[in-house]
Amino acid sequence: MKRILVNMPSQFGGKPSGVARVAFRLIAELASRPDLTIVLRSPWTRDALPEGLRGRIEVVTVPRPRIMVLDVLRQLLTVPACCRRHAIDLVLNIDPYGAARGGRARVVVVHDLYFRTIPESTGPREARTTDLIFRLMLRGNGAVVAVSDATRRDLEKHYPRARGRVRVIPSASVIDPAALTDGARSEVAGPFILAVGNATHNKNFGLLAEAAARLAPHRPDLAIVHVGEDPDDAIGAVLRRLDAGIRVIRLSRIDDGRLAALYRAALCLCVPSFAEGFCLPVLEAQALGCPVVCANRSATPEVAGEGALTFDPTDPAALAACLHRLLDEPGLRADLAARGRRNEARYTWAATGRAYAALLSDALDPANRSA
């Protein structure tokens, strides 16, 4: 029986971010294997975990660090001590803000490299400290998981020493399967474009507003529904500047049932991002029959496969043309939905769990350990 420490100190306890939701689905898969015992080290308490995990894993609750780089350095001491206390064989760092020491082997998961690929999204100081963290973690972890081929290419470009140690293991949709029933109705009336995710720089939601404004003269009933946080009102500010008259409906922290109903009712999910490490909303939308319109850069075309219309994320006219097609071409929406469902079926948590289990076994093989 191998004991695996899933190390996730960077996430907020009780607040299920995309990374945390992926981690919980992965943990559920690994915990179902008879040869593995899972210990979760994170700011989450047992009672706050998804109900299905509470009795299946061991839990070590730690406070979320205020300064990540200091905590990564601190973990050089604290995680080995934790591993000795809990007889840990391997540390699986869910993101690079983890441990470079501890156990007999370590694996780190890299979700994105925005600080490198879109440097304007972070300040110089944050970029320097993040680079330090990446270098420390890549040196201290024998195996590296990239969530997409796009992320692998970025990682190997900026950190050549990672070459030969990176394995691509994609995730799958994390929306609650109970939300896939057909009963729920959308709370938004009329045609709308759906955007999902916090309005960070890489999301490029202002481009969606510019494109929608071009449609306003022909479709004044069109709305944008944004699920996520937008403290700077990135979408609304652009629409007001253009005097477009497009409605913006913002929702946040909604449950999977409400989100599933929005996916089903939307004209499309729009992903205008400059960069994505993976982009789970693409698969969520495709699982629920929602057409996907996404940028032709980074991981989004890779994840969306043939089930999406793509466009240049610097060109609002290109996005507007895609939206016009969905509105004006009979049958296109149904065709995209069907292709999306076929694409989403390629991604399963069973396959992801098997790939991680094989990697953990390889990492613990003395012949393969280099860290």
- Domain boundaries of the chain, sorted by first residue: 2-172+348-364, 178-344
Q: Which residue has the tokens 């009933």?
A: 221
Answer whether 2-172+348-364 and 178-344 agree in fold: yes
Select from 298, 238, 310, 217 the least CA-distant residue to 270.
Answer: 310
The 10s digit of each residue's pLDDT in 141-173 is 999 999 999 999 999 999 999 998 999 999 999
User: So what's the architecture of 178-344 in CATH?
Assistant: 3-Layer(aba) Sandwich (3.40)
Mean pLDDT for the stretch of residues 123-143: 95
265-276 burial, b if ≥16 CB within 10 A, otherwise e? bbbbbbbbbbbb
Checking if the pLDDT of 122 tops 90, the result is no
Grade residue 371 by pLDDT with cuts at 50, 70 and 90.
Answer: very low
pLDDT computed for residue 195 by the predictor: 97
Instruction: For the chain, give the percent of residues with pLDDT over 70.
Output: 96
Instruction: For the chain, give the percent of residues with pLDDT over 90.
Output: 85
The larger pLDDT score, comparing residue 244 to residue 149, is at 149
pLDDT computed for residue 366 by the predictor: 77
Select from 29, 144, 149, 156 the least CA-distant residue to 98.
Answer: 144
Grade residue 73 by pLDDT with cuts at 50, 70 and 90.
Answer: very high
pTM of the model: 0.93
Checking if the pLDDT of 204 tops 80, the result is yes
CATH classification code of 2-172+348-364: 3.40.50.2000
3-state secondary structure of 46: helix
Burial environment of residue 63 by CB neighbours within 10 A (0 to 12, 13 to 18, 19 or more): exposed
Select from 231, 226, 229 the least CA-distant residue to 212.
Answer: 226
Mean pLDDT for the stretch of residues 224-229: 95
What is the chain's mean pLDDT, rounded?
93
